[in-house]
Amino acid sequence: MILITGAAGFIGSAVASALNRQGRTDLLLCDLFGEQERWQNILGLRYKQFIHRDVLFEYLNSAPYAGAIQTIIHLGACSDTTMADMDFLLENNVNYSIKLCQWALQHDVRFVYASSAAVYGDGSLGFSDNDEITPTLRPLNKYGFSKWMFDMWVLENGYQDKVAGLRYFNVFGPNEYHKGEMASVVFRAFPLASAEGRIRLFESHRPGIDHGEQARDFIYIDEAVAITLFFLNNPPANGIYNTGTGRAHSFNELAQGLFEGLDKPPVIEYFPMPEELRERYQYFTQADISRLQRAGYPPSQDRFKECVVGYVRDYLLPGCLRLQSISK
């Protein structure tokens, strides 16, 4: 039995879908819906039970299926990088994760959890997932700080040889439609590009970096899922790992792929970055994936443009924003 928290979210629903395609239906899905449309993310999925996050620990301590859990994939969190309530993030992203990890360790259950590239801050210290570097990192926002706090809890308690943490970089692809401002630039730029044939990107406010040349390690959802399942299927692989491609691509490159998917000439407009973001903005991210490869995950080819074009043509243009069709 596999428990997936955040199962109605972007990565969680993709992981559950991938497990279904492998023939696994022994899944416990945990999340909360609220007033969002995330219920659509689990349409068509096969699972044993859906558990509201607020009663998860009551369930774990009493329900019959709880004793059959072999792995927890903990993806549930507040992922809003603009969240201002640090107390909420502390309770939701840190204390809840600590409690769930402690339960897993006490019951000899495999624990794989989502961290974030946001822990790296401005990138001035690089993007190595070496444990010795983690205490020196300085995240730029409260969300990144909350993810760093849990990483540090794992390290300070010596659990890095017992659990697996995944520092997801910029994941994009089908099933992110509910994420609002936290959705990928591809998704958010698509309506304007499709309707008016133009895209708007932030200007650069850093000397030596041209407009639109800010770069990210963009990773398509299928590869993010593949890495997640690699750790599900390889219990000896423990520690905190970067989950990216090891390659950075600029927003200008992203725009080119978006317009190619639309079969339109690229028209890019640049506008000033809001003042409040300028000191908290990552101009460059690129995962150091050497540790991931040493753990046995195979090298991959550069699929960035192919994935952007395919995302636009296969999912955004038809309006099929739900994950049922991700197996195309």
Q: Which alpha helices (DSSP H) does the chain contain, by range?
A: 10-21, 56-60, 86-89, 96-106, 142-156, 185-196, 221-233, 251-262, 275-278, 290-294, 304-311
Asked about 143 being catalytic, the answer comes back as yes
Directed axis angle between helix 251-262 and helix 185-196, to 10°?
A: 50
**Could you tell me which of 168, 162, 149, 160 has the C-alpha nearest to residue 75?**
168
Annotated catalytic residue within 162, 179, 270, 305: 179
In whole angstroms, give the CA distance from residue 155 to residue 78.
22
**Could you tell me which of 185, 144, 187 has the C-alpha nearest to residue 167?**
144
Asked about 177 being catalytic, the answer comes back as no
DSSP conformation class of 97: H
Annotated catalytic residue within 143, 159, 297, 315: 143
Inter-residue contact 312 to 258 (CB < 8 Å): yes
Give buried/exposed letters for 10-20 (b at 16+ CB in 10 A, else e). Answer: bbbbbbbbbbb
Identify the three-state secondary structure at position 46: coil
* Catalytic residue list: 143, 179
